[in-house]
Chains A and B, each alone.
Chain A
Amino acid sequence: MNEMIKMVVALTILCGVSGGLLASIHDGTAAQIENQQLKFVKGPAIKSILKGSANDPIADRFKIQDGDIERNFFVGNIGGKANSIAFEGSGKGFAGDLGIMVGVNLDDQKLIGVAVTTHSETPGLGAKAKDDPGFAAQFIGLPTDKDVKVTNDGGGINAISGATITSRAVCNAVTTAMSNYTKLKPQLDQKIKDFQK
């Protein structure tokens, strides 16, 4: 009995101290971690898509409620007018979820850029979707109301060699993002006016 109490007390104290310590570390680093996530995961993608924008798209962002999901939209001011937005999409890659950032010009309804943000694709093959600028460049100028497909499926995107599934996943993610865009377009037009003043 005595030994039992000793074990319970030792483990309880250990867990309590550990829990308290971790909670304080979590609180202490939470703000820094959020900054890092925006800066490293989304920041470079947003900057490459909205390149040449006069404002800071990460600071000029707004949220739209879409069903249960809250979507972030980053506003880009290119050529003196806040008419470009970047937002996130996702799809199923070869090895897990694949996150992308898509940029759209609100005036002519065309894609201004696509970039892969998070992925777990095979290094050297599928991972090139993120690193190869030639692949991403193919999406620029596509209209938002058409499905995006790789050439194997009858579309216009040349897949990365050896990584058809990843290329297809990026196309699907872009297509899904575009249908979300079309769905939320009225709200977007409303919100973007605040940035055009």
Chain B
Amino acid sequence: MAKSIVQEFTKGLWEQIPPFRLVLGICPALGVSTSVENALGMGMAVTFVLAGSNILISLLRNVIPAKVRIAAFIIIIATFVIIVEHLMQAYTYELFLTLGVFIPLIVVNCIPLGRAEAFASKNGILPSAADGLGLGVGYTLSLCALGALREILGNGTLTIWGDLGYNLTSVFPSFQPFAFMLQAPGAFIGLGLMLCVINAISK
């Protein structure tokens, strides 16, 4: 193994940061990034599923027959997703309400399945865990950045579990919130602009 565990982790933070670099998992990224709070919750859920399924799939990689590997991966990923869904309902119910259908949809999100197929099924437990955690944290960061952009422009506020008291209209009295940024087209434009900035920096 050429790469160290640390490199497997850090590649998810910039080099392969989802959803920008891999352009996977776009649908929930657009759907939930209306506020930083939602983005953080979704990111943590994805991180848990990604790390858990990567570890388990890496553990079972020699036991799962090659022909039914996708079915087996989906079972493992779905199990983790349902665990997250139940825990969210039981302990962070408000978050569960706002994320709604995007939590069960993590099952068909391409990131966990993509990592299972491309990485965890070919590598040992530690690199797989680092890979899953790194991409999960990267996904969380991207969603939070997109969420912050959309929330500030769309609503003029920034909330993370309770209002931070920050309000754009108090800084710029003439600021009018773009309600448009909170809807689907605003998500596409926000994502496009961020992708543009990332490409410009890495060139």
Which residues on the A side are within 8 Å of B154 (C-beta)? 124
Which residues on the A side are within 8 Å of B63 (C-beta)? 10
Whether A25 and B183, one on each chain, are in contact in the complex, defined by CB atoms closer than 8 angstroms, is no
Q: In whole Å, how far is A35's beta carbon from the nearest beta carbon of chain B? A: 9
CA distance A22 to B63 in the complex (A): 22
Which residues on the B side are within 8 Å of A32 (C-beta)? 90-91
Whether A21 and B79, one on each chain, are in contact in the complex, defined by CB atoms closer than 8 angstroms, is yes
Q: Which residue of B lies closest to A6 (CB)?
A: B65
Q: Given the interface contacts A25-B86, A124-B179, does A37 sit within 8 Å of B93 by beta carbon?
A: yes
| Chain A positions 34-61 with a Cβ under 8 Å from a chain B Cβ | 36-37, 39-41
Q: Given the interface contacts A11-B68, A11-B72, A122-B183, does A22 sit within 8 Å of B82 by beta carbon?
A: yes
Q: Which residue of A lies closest to B89 (CB)?
A: A33
Determine whether B2 belongs to the interface, using a CB cutoff of 8 Å to chain A.
no
CA distance A118 to B96 in the complex (A): 13
The total of Cβ contacts below 8 Å across the A-B interface reads 67
Determine whether A123 belongs to the interface, using a CB cutoff of 8 Å to chain B.
yes
Determine whether B58 belongs to the interface, using a CB cutoff of 8 Å to chain A.
no
- Interface footprint category on B: 20 to 34
CA distance A120 to B90 in the complex (A): 21
Q: Which residue of B lies closest to A5 (CB)?
A: B65
Q: Which residue of B lies closest to A19 (CB)?
A: B79
In this complex, how many residues of chain A approach chain B with their Cβ under 8 Å: the count is 26
Determine whether A15 belongs to the interface, using a CB cutoff of 8 Å to chain B.
yes
Which residues on the B side are within 8 Å of A3 (C-beta)? 65, 67
Q: In whole Å, how far is A124's beta carbon from the nearest beta carbon of chain B? A: 4
Determine whether A190 belongs to the interface, using a CB cutoff of 8 Å to chain B.
no
| Chain A positions 84-137 with a Cβ under 8 Å from a chain B Cβ | 118, 120, 122-125
Whether A29 and B89, one on each chain, are in contact in the complex, defined by CB atoms closer than 8 angstroms, is yes
Determine whether B201 belongs to the interface, using a CB cutoff of 8 Å to chain A.
no
Whether B179 and A11, one on each chain, are in contact in the complex, defined by CB atoms closer than 8 angstroms, is no
Specify which of B34, B90, B97, B179 is in contact with A29 (CB 8 Å cutoff). Answer: B90
Q: In whole Å, how far is A132's beta carbon from the nearest beta carbon of chain B? A: 14
Which residues on the A side are within 8 Å of B163 (C-beta)? none
Q: Which residue of B lies closest to A120 (CB)?
A: B100
Which residues on the B side are within 8 Å of A15 (C-beta)? 75
- B residues at A contact (CB < 8 Å): 34, 63-65, 67-68, 71-72, 75-76, 78-79, 82-83, 86-87, 89-91, 93-94, 97, 100, 154-155, 179, 182-183
